[in-house]
Structure 1
């Protein structure tokens, strides 16, 4: 049940981001001003809440990204992505994050070589972000990867 709720939550967030991107690409100036006035405060509040959860503790570790067995030193990947997108912007060279690499992972071919993963068609009845997760890659590591 938690997986389904989590997927519904993620889908709602992805859909919202898609809608905002579409508005930024296609809306006229008055609509953009209206959206900016309503959405920018919400987006900045969201970034602030997320970054507060990743604020380093007294040892300099990120309490959210750290586990009992692996300490994650600050700045964690969340702070790095925040800096890249909010401060450095288009001026910094775009480094591919582990999460982006994982989403554009390579899949083994029949001869054992690797090739870029093919995009899967999204079922029409569930919208752009399917409730059914895609099958795990054949070369996935047990236990998953940390972002």
Structure 2
């Protein structure tokens, strides 16, 4: 049951991110302004919550990514991705997001032997081997 609920949660998040990216690319100025005012504070707060869970402890380890047997030194991959997308890459990632989403949609799952364009697609394919929205009944547009 937890796997089903987890997949439903993941699908809902992927759909929301797709919707926001589509809005950024296709909406008119008033719709963009309205979306920015409502969504940007939510997105920034979400990043803050997630990053605070990955703040290094007194030993310089990420308490979330570390296990009992393997310590993960800061900055962990979550902080590295945050920096890449929010600071270093800035708009470069934003400009390619639509092309990457199309590639993800047209790429086969890892189970069929098709190449997967990025790590996000690999995680999504592994989590949903029978289709992107197999449990929610969605078609992915």
Q: Same fold (TM over 0.5)?
A: yes
Provide the TM-score with structure 1 as the length reference: 0.66
Quote the residue 1:27 is aligned against.
27
- The structure richer in strand per residue is 1
Quote the residue 1:116 is aligned against.
115
User: Alignment RMSD, CA only?
Assistant: 3.4
- Distance verdict in 2 for CA 1:82–1:60, change over 3 Å: same
Partners of 1:84 and 1:92 within 8 A in 2? no
CA distance in 2, matches of 1:39, 1:61: 32
CA distance in 2, matches of 1:108, 1:2: 22
Unmatched 5+ stretches in structure 2: 94-103, 118-124
- Distance verdict in 2 for CA 1:68–1:18, change over 3 Å: same
CA distance in 2, matches of 1:115, 1:21: 25
Trace 1:27-106 onto structure 2 (pairs within 5 A). Answer: 27-90=27-90
Divergent runs of 4+, >4 A: 90-93, 106-109, 117-125
Deviation at 1:126, TM superposition (A): 1.3
- Distance verdict in 2 for CA 1:27–1:9, change over 3 Å: same
Instruction: Give deviations 1:31-51, integer Å, cap 9, x for gaps.
Output: 000000000000000000000
- Distance verdict in 2 for CA 1:54–1:7, change over 3 Å: same
CA distance in 2, matches of 1:117, 1:91: 23
User: How many residues matched?
Assistant: 116
Q: Secondary structure at the match of 2:89?
A: helix
The more displaced of 117-126 and 46-55 is 117-126
Unmatched 5+ stretches in structure 1: 94-102, 130-147
- Which has the greater radius of gyration? 1
